[in-house]
Every structure is written in C-alpha cells, then in structure tokens.
Amino acid sequence: MKILHDPVSRPKASIPMNRILWLLFILVMVGGGIIFFYSFEGMGERNEKLSTAEKAPLEEHDFAPPIPPDEPIQLSDTLAAQVDDSTAQGRTRVEEEPYRDLMSKVLNRTSRFMREVLIYKEADHDTLVKEPAKHRGDTYFVRGELMGFSEFLLEKPIGDYNRVHFGVIRDNQGNLFWFETLSFDEENILRIGQIVMAEGVFLKNYKYIKVPTARRHLKDLPDQQDNLPFLICKDVLRSYHIKEISTLDKKLVRSARWKKEVEQEKLETGPLYHLLGYMKKLKKNQVPKNIKTYDDIAERLINPTRLDRFRGEWVELWGKLGPIYKHIEEKENPAGIQSHYRAYLYSSDRIFVAVFLPEKPVGFKPFKDVVMVRGVYFKPWTYESDRPDGQPIRAPLIVANSLLKLRFKPGIWAVITPILVGLLLAAVLLMIIVIYRERREIKKHNEKFILRRRERRLKKLAEQPPYGARTKSAE
C-alpha cells in the first residue's frame, strides 16, 4: 500500500511591520499637507469674497479698536461728553472723535449681528430731539422717502474706506432724519424719491446749514434745517421708486396665480400694489358707470370655469357691508402705499366678497349699510376667518376706489303698506271710540232709568196711607 505524504506547505512571505508603519506615516503626512493646502487656499478665497462692508477696519486708522462680539455699541463717557447738541451752534458741528468712534464700531459689526442681536428699533423723531443724550448710541431704523443724498471724502480713512455717503430721509409722519454710512451699493445707486430704510446708531441732534463749499452739502434741502436726528448707519437699503400709476396694466394683474389652493392664499405684491396705486390716483368721476354685471356676479368670480374672463376687468356688485379693517404695510412698495383698508361684504347672491381700498371709507356703518362696489377684479383669495369650524373663506378679491351707499327707491307695496296700516289703525281707533261712546250712553241711560224707577217707587210709597189708617178702614 502506497502511503501518500502531505506536501510540506511553505509559510507565506510577510511584510515587515516597520514598512507598514512607514507607509501609514507617509499617507498621513501627504493627506495632512493636502488638507492644509486646500484649507489655506479656501481661506484666501473666502477673505476675497467678503464684501468690503464686512471687513474689520485697520486699527491704526481708527479711534475704536475691534470690540468683543457681545459688547453693545456705545460711546465712552469721555467721547459722549464731547458731543454738544444742546444749542443751535453745537448742533451745526459734528465732533470728529465721537463720530469716528461710532462709525468704526458700526463697521466692525456684521449686518446680521446688528439686526438679530443689537436689534434696531423704529426711530421716533420727537423722542430723539427731546432727549438726545439719553438715546445716544442706541440702534434705530428709519424708513421713508429719500429727499437727497451725496458723498464726501474723509481726511483720514476709516478702515479701508475714505468716502462717506450721507443724505436725508423723510418718514411717514413727515419728519426728517440725517444719515451717514460707509457701506454703499455701487450697483444699485439710490435715487431721490425712492423708499429706503437706514439702519444705524444715533449720534446727536443735528442742524443743517446750506454752505455750497462744505463737505455736507445737499442742494435739495432748505438753507437751514434744524432738529435732524443724526444716524451713523451700517446699511441704507434701497427700495422702490415711488411713482404715480396712471394706467391700468391688465397683463400685470392677470399674472397673479390662482389655480392652486396655495396660490389663492398669497397676494402677489406687484399686481396688488399696482391696483392699489392705480385706485389711489383715480378720481371718483373716472370710475366707469356702465359696467356689465350679472345677478350672480359674485358666484361667477369664484367659479373656476368662469372667473378668468373677469380678471383685470371692471366689475360691479352690491351687498350688505361687513367689518372694515386697516392693514399696515410691513414692506415698501413701488406705489408708496403705507396702509390700505379691507372691507368685507355679503353679496346679493350670498357670497362673501373682499374689497381692498387705498383710503379709509368714511361715513359707513358696518353690518347696517348696503353698498355698491365698482372695482377691478384681482383673483379668488382664500383667507383665515373666525368661523366656528375653523375653515378658511374663499372670496373674490376686488380692488376699488371707494364704496357707494345704496338708497333703494320704494316700490308700490312700500307705499301701499303704510297707507293700509294707517287705515287699519284709524279703523281700530274709530271702533274703540264708537264702543266707548256707546258704553258711556248705555251707562247714562241705565243711571237715568234707575233714578226714575227709584223716584216712582218713592212717589208710590208717599201716596199710600199710613199703616194704622189702613187697618181701621179695613175694620
């Protein structure tokens, strides 16, 4: 028997451990070098992409070094003492050191930090003018119409900036505010008449005197203007250029979407404020009077198969007036609409209708008056309501110039009914009088009858002999 022996298996050649360690070391070094190289390049690219408005100023060019992220923007007591706005002469000056201190501190902050951490408050003109020292260094915003703007060169740069942009804003109450900023959008140059919003720090109460050779010179302001709150701003945000809307752009109105439910919840600002601006300029005698209408017009304005032919067109309907609300605009718009009014009515075909008006309707009694609406149909609008079931209301939205109170002419029955009621009341009154007089006559007759019967009885008794005499005669 042949015995087969197992072949002797050789051990595999192994890689020395020190080679593995060296290989890992080389891989780590190469990977670390690559990461460091790309992170260094990315850092350089990020720094290049930073807008100049976000770069920290160079300390050697400023009175204010960079400040810690949690420290508010304030003037030191020493610098605050240099600011004088208690007299007319003091208000004409802009103190250099406090000005540069606040300007550089504002420049050190990011726009996001200023808005979310320091928080801008809406500036109140009278409060700032009355107590300027109390509010110095506080953050405010002013929104309004740009009345004028310009720029001047700094004698000593602040950070990377050597130009200051300045101007005047008139707010919704007609008060003027002076602003200055280093940050400026070169691509979107401001224009006089635009709605802008300036966000910054209050420095002092300023008096402007027009001197053509001075650095701060605005040709559109009066020769002198006192009591201008002076704001050192991080940003001046460009908005819309206000213009009067004289023609109705039906194509723009019809661009508002409505076919999906989520689209009916939105009010596109462009078409809506175009309509409000158009209605605001439109005079009452310019509103068309011969508008083709239907008894079920409100139903047609929300019927998906029929409403599209009415969008951007003049419509007319009437109904009972409901509540009227004032809506304050939170954003600027090209029509310059700062607030509008929303009236709701219950139409003749039992549908709620929303009517937007640029001006407050005066002389109307909600829930009592019946009104006529002539306006341009915008779109079907779905809005939240106070209904018990919590369901939203879908209503046609009409933008109108005004409301018209209806006084209905009385019909034939409206004339006949009061006459019939009057005759009926007169007949009832006459019947009451007749019955009363008859009862009174009967009562008098009865009284006379009773009196006569009593008299006859007494007379009969008087004619009879006495009782004793009658007895003797009987015997």
Q: In this structure, are strands 370-383 and 314-328 parallel, antiparallel, or unpaired?
A: antiparallel
The superfamily (CATH) of domain 59-237 is Nucleic acid-binding proteins (2.40.50.140)
First to last CA, the chain: 199
pLDDT at residue 388 is higher than 90: no
Q: Who wins on pLDDT, 313 or 235? A: 313
Show me where the domains of the chain are located. Answer: 59-237, 250-405
How far apart are the C-alpha atoms of 227 and 401, rounded to whole Å? 38
How far apart are the C-alpha atoms of 235 and 109, rounded to whole Å? 11
pLDDT at residue 221 is higher than 90: no
Of the ranges 16-25, 339-348, 403-412, 417-426, the best mean pLDDT one: 339-348
- Which of 3.40.50.2300, 2.40.50.140, 3.40.1280.10, 3.40.710.10 is the CATH number of 250-405? 2.40.50.140
pLDDT at residue 219 is higher than 80: yes
Would you say the C-alpha torsion 37, 39, 43, 49 has a positive or negative sign? positive
- Residue 118's pLDDT is 78
Q: Are 342 and 290 in contact (CB under 8 A)?
A: no
- Residue 236's pLDDT is 87
Percent of the chain at pLDDT above 70?
A: 81
Q: For residue 315, name the pLDDT band (cuts at 50, 70, 90).
A: very high
Q: Who wins on pLDDT, 463 or 3? A: 463
How far apart are the C-alpha atoms of 53 and 182, rounded to whole Å? 8
Give the residue-averaged pLDDT of 57-65. Answer: 46
pLDDT at residue 425 is higher than 90: no
- Exposure string of 109-135, with b = 16+ CB inside 10 Å and e = fewer, is beeeebbeebebeebbbeebbeebeeb
pLDDT at residue 81 is higher than 80: yes
Q: Are 359 and 351 in contact (CB under 8 A)?
A: no
Q: What angle do CA 436, 438, 443 make, to 5 degrees?
A: 95
Q: 307, 458, 294, 305: which is closest to 378 by C-alpha? A: 307
290 three-state secondary structure: coil
- Residue 185's pLDDT is 64
**Among 91-105, 125-139, 179-193, the least confident range:** 179-193
- Residue 46's pLDDT is 46
299 three-state secondary structure: helix
Question: For residue range 349-371, what is the model confidence (pLDDT) as tens digits?
Answer: 889 999 999 999 999 999 999 99
Q: What angle do CA 345, 348, 352 make, to 5 degrees?
A: 35
Q: For residue 446, name the pLDDT band (cuts at 50, 70, 90).
A: confident
Give the residue-averaged pLDDT of 320-326. Answer: 94
User: What does the chain come to in residues?
Assistant: 475
How far apart are the C-alpha atoms of 47 and 451, rounded to whole Å? 129
Amino acid in the structure at residue 103: M
Q: Who wins on pLDDT, 294 or 37? A: 294
Q: 231, 247, 236, 227: which is closest to 195 by C-alpha? A: 236
Q: In this structure, are strands 121-122 and 139-158 parallel, antiparallel, or unpaired?
A: parallel
- Residue 391's pLDDT is 82
Question: For residue range 401-419, what is the model confidence (pLDDT) as tens digits?
Answer: 999 998 866 667 677 888 8
Q: Are 44 and 165 in contact (CB under 8 A)?
A: no
Question: For residue range 163-212, what is the model confidence (pLDDT) as tens digits?
Answer: 999 999 998 888 999 999 988 765 556 788 888 889 899 999 999 999 98
Q: For residue 435, name the pLDDT band (cuts at 50, 70, 90).
A: confident
pLDDT at residue 297 is higher than 80: yes
3 three-state secondary structure: coil
Q: In this structure, are strands 393-405 and 352-357 parallel, antiparallel, or unpaired?
A: parallel
- Residue 69's pLDDT is 58
Q: Who wins on pLDDT, 208 or 457? A: 208
pLDDT at residue 138 is higher than 50: yes
Q: 287, 283, 280: which is closest to 337 by C-alpha? A: 280
Q: What rounded mean pLDDT belongs to the chain?
A: 82
Question: Where do runs of H (alpha helix) occur along 183-265?
Answer: 250-254, 261-264
- Residue 57's pLDDT is 40
Q: Who wins on pLDDT, 141 or 47? A: 141
Two structure tokens written together for 334: 């090209």
Q: Are 182 and 234 in contact (CB under 8 A)?
A: no
Q: Who wins on pLDDT, 69 or 15? A: 69
How far apart are the C-alpha atoms of 193 and 169, rounded to whole Å? 10
Q: Who wins on pLDDT, 49 or 275? A: 275
Q: For residue 119, name the pLDDT band (cuts at 50, 70, 90).
A: confident
- Residue 3's pLDDT is 44
Instruction: Note whether 59-237 and 250-405 share their fold.
Output: yes
Percent of the chain at pLDDT above 90?
A: 40
- Residue 22's pLDDT is 72
- Residue 143's pLDDT is 87
Give the residue-averaged pLDDT of 23-29. Answer: 74
The Cα-based distances of 298 to 106, 267, 410, 461 in angstroms read: 55, 19, 25, 95
- Residue 471's pLDDT is 57
**Among 42-51, 73-82, 297-306, 348-357, the least confident range:** 42-51
Helix (H) or strand (E) holding 421: helix 412-463
DSSP string, 125-151: HHHHHH-HHHHTT-EEEEEEEEEEEEE
Q: For residue 61, name the pLDDT band (cuts at 50, 70, 90).
A: very low
pLDDT at residue 145 is higher than 60: yes
